[in-house]
Amino acid sequence: MCTSSPFTNPVFTNPLLTKPLARITAGLCLLLLSATAAAQTWQHEQGRVSLDEPPQRIVALNWAATEALLLLGVTPVGVADKSGYATWVREPVLPDHVPNIGTRVAPSLEAIAELEPDLIITSSEMAPAADLLQQIAPTYVSSVYKKGSQPFAKARQMLITLGEMLDREDRAREILADIDTTLADQRRRLEAHGAHKRPVALVSFLDDRHVRIFAPNGLYQTTLDGLGLDNVWPHDGNYWGFSTVGLEAIAPYPDGRIVVIEPTQPGLSDNLAQSPFWTYLPAVQRSQVYQIEPVWPFGAVFPVKRLAIQLTDALIQGGSDNVR
């Protein structure tokens, strides 16, 4: 535009000089503009991940991430330990056609790469592999379970971040609000039935002598807090939020009710019935043994809701003097 004017600075009159400069400047501006507009960056446990647009093909390397994606209405293109998910987690349902990419402790990088994902979600358990995964696709590291973490807070944060990445923030907030409402509703139900008074011991049987007892630092504590129930077990467990204990470890807490989370082994109830140790347990004597369907204790936010409903139903329905 200024090339024809004789009064302008000679430097700018030369088209050979102005054109590339202008192009570069314009290009840079565009780049900056598009970068601020489209590409977003999220900080995670082992660095940061930048995405230009919401990812379409996501691979989830643990069940907490799988669950979070399904909750947001996104079906991952590959998950780890698919058959186990159907047995142990159950809800939200994972469609049958999603391919398996190996075990959760040792997924196959090969299979992940073949799926050509545009986002991989993993946890710090896989820390040494994060570099390799990063070379396959942008990798988001979020560990609901690690030393010193608070599972529910962490899972909430993961859900919201994933919501942002996938442009489904509203959905994420709805889910969280729904969980809070559910907890409040179930708490009112419990109180209405007067079933909230005694503390509970949440256990799952490993065999007829050993149980996993769920500790105050675990995900389930969120449900108990939300329902206004006390946990009988006072000690923190491992970072997964449980301790493996002999069955006799619940004996020192005579006030507690016992909630057994399935699956239980065949023949367990017969073995327990024959053991006066069990039949004399105060909770058993009071017929305060409750049994609920499998709930995955190492998931993200959803198990909190699932457990809250099942636990409330079971406590209101009334217990028995043995497992089924």
Partner 1 sequence: MYVESQVATTAPRLPGKLPLTAILLWLGALAASAAPWLPELDLLSVVSAFWSYDGSDYSSVLAHFSWAPRVSIALLIGCGLGLAGAVTQQVLGNPLASPTTLGVEAGGQFGVTLATLFAPALLAFSQDLVAVAGGLLAIGMVVALTWRLGFSPVTVILAGLVITFFMGALNMAFLLIKGEWLGNLFIWGAGSLVQNSWQPFMDLWPRVLILGAALVLLMRPLQLLQLGQASASSLGARVGLLRMLALFLVVLMSATVVSRVGVVAFVGLAAPVLARLLGARTLQERLFWSTLLGGGLLLLADTLAHWASSWGDGSLVPTGTTMALIGGPIILLALQGFKNTHHMPGQESNPGAFLPKRRSVLVTGAVLLCLLLVTFFVSMGWSPGLQDWSWTPITDWGEAWVWRGPRLLAAILAGVCLGLAGSLIQRMTGNVMASPELLGISGGAALVMVLIVLTGTEIGRAGQLGAATLGAAAALGLLILLARRHRFAGNQLLLGGLALYVFMDSGLRLVMASGGTVAAKLLNWMYGATWLISETEALSLLGLTLVICLGLFVAIRPLTLLALGDTSASSLGLPVTRARLGLLVLAAILTAAATVVIGPLSFVGLIAPHLARVLGQQTVGRQMIISALAGGLLLALADYLSRIVIFPSQLPAGLLAALVGGIYFLWGLSRHGRA
State the residues that interact with partner 1 by CB under 8 A: 81, 84, 87-88, 99-115, 125, 128-129, 131-132, 135-136, 147, 206-210, 212, 215, 233, 235-238, 240, 242-249, 251, 254, 265-267, 271, 274-278, 280-282, 298
State the minimum distance, in angstroms, from the CB of residue 131 to partner 1: 5
Using CA atoms, how far residue 23 sits from 12, 13, 59, 178, 203, in Å, is: 14, 16, 39, 52, 68
HSE at residue 96, side-chain half, CA atoms within 13 A, is: 0
Smallest separation (angstroms) from partner 1 to the CB of 232: 11
HSE on the CB side for 61, CA within 13 Å?
A: 27
Structure tokens at 170: 């509203």
Nearest approach, Cβ of 130 to partner 1 (angstroms)?
9
Largest CA distance in the chain: 108
In the chain, beta strands by DSSP E: 40-44, 47-51, 58-60, 78-79, 119-122, 139-141, 200-205, 210-214, 242-246, 257-261, 289-292
- DSSP category for residue 45: T
Q: Cis peptide before 128, with omega less than 30 degrees from 0? A: no
Between 194 and 266, name the residue whose CB sits nearer to partner 1.
266
Q: Is the CB of 75 or the CB of 317 nearer to partner 1?
A: 75
Taking the complex as a whole, the smallest distance from the CB of residue 139 to partner 1 amounts, in Å, to 12
- Nearer CB in complex with partner 1: 180/207: 207
Token representation of residue 184: 């409040």
Question: Quick one: 156 or 212, whose CB is closer to partner 1?
Answer: 212
Question: How many CB atoms neighbour CB 162 within 10 A?
Answer: 27
Rounded to whole angstroms, how far apart are CA atoms 5 and 161? 55
**Minimum separation from the CB atom of position 50 to partner 1 (A):** 19
CA angle 209/212/218 to nearest 5° reads 165
Q: Smallest distance, Å, CB 161 to partner 1?
A: 23
Nearer to partner 1, 11 or 97 (CB): 97
Closest distance between partner 1 and the C-beta of residue 93, in Å? 19
Shorter beta-carbon distance to partner 1: residue 92 or 282:
282
The crossing angle, in degrees rounded to 10, of helices 220-227 and 169-192 is: 50
Strand 257-261 relative to strand 210-214, pairing:
unpaired
Do 179 and 84 touch, CB atoms closer than 8 A?
Answer: no
For residues 152 and 278, which CB has a smaller minimum distance to partner 1 in the complex?
278
Q: Closer to partner 1 at the Cβ: 27 or 246?
A: 246
The nearest distance, CB 252 to partner 1, in angstroms, is: 9
From 55, 101, 58, 61, select the one nearest 77 (Cα to Cα). 58
